[in-house]
Homo-oligomer: A and B are copies of this chain.
C-alpha cells in the first residue's frame, strides 16, 4: 500500500499502467482528482486494496484534511466493510476496453460495479431523488404526516430509512442542489419541480442532521 497526495496543478499524468499484450488495462496506480467526500473515499478504498494512490486537489488545506481522514480510516480498515457499489459511467467517448478495465478495477476494490450511461443522477440518485421529492409533495399536500410516511416506507416497503429521515441524513442543501439543477435542465418535468418546504428549510439553514434540524429536530 502506498499513499501520496499532491496539490492540483491542472495537468494530470496518466494513472493507469497498460499491459501491451492484454486486452484490458490492469490498474495499479490510481490518481483521484478531488479530495472531498467521494474522492477521499475512493482514495481510501484503493489504498486499502493495494493500489498506489495519488490524491490531487486545489489547496494544501483540503489535501491535509483528506489525508488525515483517509489515514484514520485506513487504521480501522480491517474492521470496515465496503458495501457500496461504484458506477462505471460510459459516455459516447468511452471505449469498451476502458469500461471493462474499470469494471475489473472496481471488482479488485471489493465492490459490485454497475454500468450506466452519462445521465443526470445516474441510477441511484435518478430514482431516489424524485422519490424523495414525491414524499415531500405527499406531505405538502397534507395527505399524511412525515412521521407516518417514514413509518409506512420502512415497515411497508422494507426501506432502511424513511424519506424524511434520509433527506435529513443526506442534507437538504444537497437535495435542493440536485433538484434545482434538474429543474434548470428540464423545467416542465413535474418530478423536478422545487418544493416550498424544502426551499424554506434550506433558507433557514435547517438542512438536516448536520445543523441539528431539518424535517426533524436533532439534539
A78-123 with Cβ < 8 A to chain B = 83-85, 87, 112, 114-117, 119, 122-123
Docked-complex contact A151 and B114, CB < 8 angstroms: yes
- Chain B residues near A148 (CB-CB < 8 A): 114-116, 123
A112 with B142: CB separation less than 8 A: no
Question: Assuming A85-B151, A117-B142, A190-B191, what are 14 further A-B pairs, CB within 8 angstroms?
Answer: A85-B152, A115-B145, A115-B148, A117-B144, A119-B138, A119-B141, A123-B152, A127-B138, A127-B163, A157-B159, A158-B159, A158-B161, A159-B160, A191-B191
Task: List residues 122-156 of chain A with CB under 8 A from any CB of chain B.
Answer: 122-124, 126-128, 130-131, 134-135, 138, 141-145, 148-149, 151-153, 155-156
A interface list, Cβ under 8 A from B: 83-85, 87, 112, 114-117, 119, 122-124, 126-128, 130-131, 134-135, 138, 141-145, 148-149, 151-153, 155-161, 163, 189-191
Q: Are A152 and B87 in contact (CB under 8 A)?
A: yes
